[in-house]
Structure 1
Amino acid sequence: MPQDEQRLTTLIEQALELEEIDLNLFRSKTLWLPAGARGVFGGQVVGLALSAATRTVDPKYRVHSLHCYFLLPGDNTIPIIYRVNRSRDGKSYVTRHVTAEQRGKSIFTLTCSFQSGESSALEHQYPMPDVLPPEQLKSTEEKLQHMMDHPRVGVIPKLREQFKMRLEEPIPIDIRDCHGLQRARDLVRPPRKEPKQYLWMRAKGTLPDDPAFHNCVAAYCSDHYLLTTAALAHGLTSFSNPRLSMLASLDHAVWFHAPFRADEWLLYEMESSRTINGRGLCFGRIYTRDGRLVVSTAQEGVIRAESRSVILKQISNTPANESSKQEKAAKL
């Protein structure tokens, strides 16, 4: 295995690593603050909470659902303490409640249910959407590099710096959205779109064979891009006018339907059914490459916009001759 792949495998395992400090009590080791975010990445908080709950359950039980609330932003400079309450140990189902704490305050709560397994003749699912395969799509890193090299982005330092910071982040997940390269002008004047998007994702490197760990990785991944689906209907980005001023998860739910490997390609289908009162509601479905629906998700979050013209002024102040030279190159 190449050295960089081995390093990235270590990153995803470290992201979900917990230290057991007492019975039903766990502590995080590494926390990630995404560039420009208010707090620790929500998917990591969810994945760690599920990991803590799983470590208190007999391996014959597999998680089938989790429901959680984000109460306060997580601080990446201090560990998160996860306190597990063994709510119920039944014959077929087991329930756990997890509270995440920092500085004596609850920042997050999760309730999850585990099932011992049951056979049934009843089965149906939504069909998998028909999209381009991941091999024909650009990775997130390739798209970020493309935008950094774009002549229109180059004249706006703040834009270029944001792409640079994102490119330097140690993301352990390979993500490839199915919508092609973004045009530079869509950063500041994005069109309104149907609130629906698709992306392929997989953990970089080879993960351990433990199915419970793959569920934790999927919980980690399920927070990627889901809430941004609501912004598509309104033509909002961080640099548009009005701009997307706040996007923060309030609650999150995941249902695990069937086994899968998180280090193999998974298709994430996302849609938003409603935005109102400063909140957006989104739903997701995750498929294996052979078309099995293995995970479903739902999330509601704060979505706010405010008027701002700084970026538009910077673009309008670009010298006319420079702008005209770059216009053709700027079209993608």
Structure 2
Amino acid sequence: MAVEQGENLASELIRSFLTLEKIDVNIFRASPVNLWKPTAGRSVFGGQVVGQALVAASKTVNEDHHAHSLHCYFLRAGNPNRPILYHVDRTRDGRTYSSRNIKATQEGVAIFTMQASYKTDEEDAFQHQFTMPSVPGPEELKDSDDFLRSQLNEDMNDNRRTLILKILEDKIHVEKRPVNPEVYHHKEKGEPKRFVWVRAIGEMGEFDVQVRSIGNDLKLHQCVAGFISDLALLGAAIQPGSNSYTPTYMASLDHSMWFHNPFKANEWMLFEVESPQCGAGKALSLGRLWRQDGTLAVSLAQEGVVRTQQIDSKM
């Protein structure tokens, strides 16, 4: 597939975060040079581990098999200063379905596991899907980074200002345009539901999303979606408490994705997220990624650690 070490790829996201080195049959390594710890995080970004694990698994399946689902558990915090090894177990290869088990380790200790299932394309006479929510398009909205920059002109405490400046320094090569940036960035309270347009920056292979039997280019876009998928899920859970509670620790526990229709991760998709429950130190978030033409591309679910403390109303 198009994510081999050293290839001349236009997408910096792939070069920086999703490139793996093959070191043996079914074993791949991520260099600590390319591991990303978010500004407010304590460990390697969970979406990067999801994306890299899917890269490793996708290198071991036939070209006409594409991921249709994955289910992950985050077992330990990933150390950004140590390489991650991805061990792929070729569990089953069938004519229609193939299964892979992936284990990520650091210094011999498992930090993450994934089960991924792949299938060939098939047609059926019956199909249905939900209707895409009606929200403003990405061209009508402000980029998330631009919104954060605009807040620096306001009267805010030094801790908040420092945090925003550090967030703006992170270059993850993903554009985000939230429909309600005040709620998305926790300046205002809101329902535990959010809409944000997302897309990766850079070229990642050309194909027609209307043609289902695509080859390895679609695998690459699925891996990038794995990275993007962890950017907005848990944040929805704390929106009802914004200005009253601040998270002291947030981390992914488990993560699932179901791939329904082909998509391009470097074209705008609407990320719809809702959190049905938050409490007792954890939260559940559910999500959908929609193509701009209204096609449901991906469904997601994640449970994570969410611990908070009460704060003053002025932040």
Q: Is the structural similarity TM-score above 0.5?
A: yes
Contact 1:93/1:116 (<8 A) preserved: yes
Root mean square deviation of aligned Cα: 2.0
Deviation at 1:9, TM superposition (A): 2.2
Match of 1:174 in 2: 175
Which of these residues, 203, 211, 231, is aligned with residue 206 of structure 1?
203
Match of 2:161 in 1: 160
Q: Greater helix share, 1 or 2?
A: 1
Deviations along 1:111-170, one digit per CA (max 9) or x if unpaired, are 0000012111121111000011101111111011111222x12xx211111000001111
Q: Secondary structure at the match of 1:274?
A: strand
Distance 1:266 1:92 in 2: 28
Match of 2:35 in 1: 31
- Do the aligned partners of residues 165 and 7 (structure 1) sit closer, same or farther apart at CA in structure 2, a change above 3 Å counting? farther
- Percent identity among equivalent residues? 41
Which of these residues, 3, 15, 18, is aligned with residue 16 of structure 1?
18
Distance 2:169 2:9 in 1: 15
Contact 2:13/2:201 (<8 A) preserved: no
| Bigger radius of gyration | 1
Distance 1:176 1:299 in 2: 21
Please give the residue correspondences for 1:175-254 in structure 2 after superposition, counting only pairs within 5 Å. Answer: 175-181=176-182, 187=187, 190-191=188-189, 193-209=190-206, 210-233=217-240, 235-236=241-242, 240-254=243-257
Structure 2 residue 259 is matched with structure 1 residue 256: yes
Which of these residues, 41, 52, 56, is aligned with residue 52 of structure 1?
56
Deviations along 1:80-122, one digit per CA (max 9) or x if unpaired, are 1000011111121000000000111100000000001211112
Match of 1:321 in 2: none
1:258 is matched by which residue type in structure 2?
A: N
Contact 1:12/1:203 (<8 A) preserved: no
- Do the aligned partners of residues 303 and 180 (structure 1) sit closer, same or farther apart at CA in structure 2, a change above 3 Å counting? closer
Which of these residues, 108, 111, 117, is aligned with residue 115 of structure 2?
111
Structure 2 residue 305 is matched with structure 1 residue 298: no
Distance 1:54 1:263 in 2: 19
Deviation at 1:8, TM superposition (A): 7.8
Deviations along 1:196-254, one digit per CA (max 9) or x if unpaired, are 10000011122223111000011111111101111123x14xxx444211211100000
Q: Secondary structure at the match of 1:35?
A: coil
Match of 2:213 in 1: none
Q: Secondary structure at the match of 2:11?
A: helix
Distance 1:252 1:82 in 2: 17
Deviation at 1:183, TM superposition (A): 11
Contact 1:8/1:204 (<8 A) preserved: no
Deviations along 1:235-289, one digit per CA (max 9) or x if unpaired, are 14xxx44421121110000000011111110001001112233221111011100
1:46 is matched by which residue type in structure 2?
A: V
| TM-score of the aligned structures, taking structure 2 as reference length | 0.89
Deviation at 1:56, TM superposition (A): 0.5
- Do the aligned partners of residues 177 and 306 (structure 1) sit closer, same or farther apart at CA in structure 2, a change above 3 Å counting? same
Distance 2:38 2:261 in 1: 30
Q: Secondary structure at the match of 1:216?
A: helix
Deviation at 1:10, TM superposition (A): 2.1
1:158 is matched by which residue type in structure 2?
A: N
1:26 is matched by which residue type in structure 2?
A: F
What stretches of structure 2 of length at least 5 have no aligned partner? 1-7, 207-216
Which of these residues, 81, 93, 96, is aligned with residue 77 of structure 1?
81
- Do the aligned partners of residues 182 and 198 (structure 1) sit closer, same or farther apart at CA in structure 2, a change above 3 Å counting? closer
Q: How many residues align?
A: 296
Deviations along 1:171-215, one digit per CA (max 9) or x if unpaired, are 21011100144699x64xx43x22110000011122223111000
- Do the aligned partners of residues 273 and 307 (structure 1) sit closer, same or farther apart at CA in structure 2, a change above 3 Å counting? closer
| TM-score of the aligned structures, taking structure 1 as reference length | 0.85
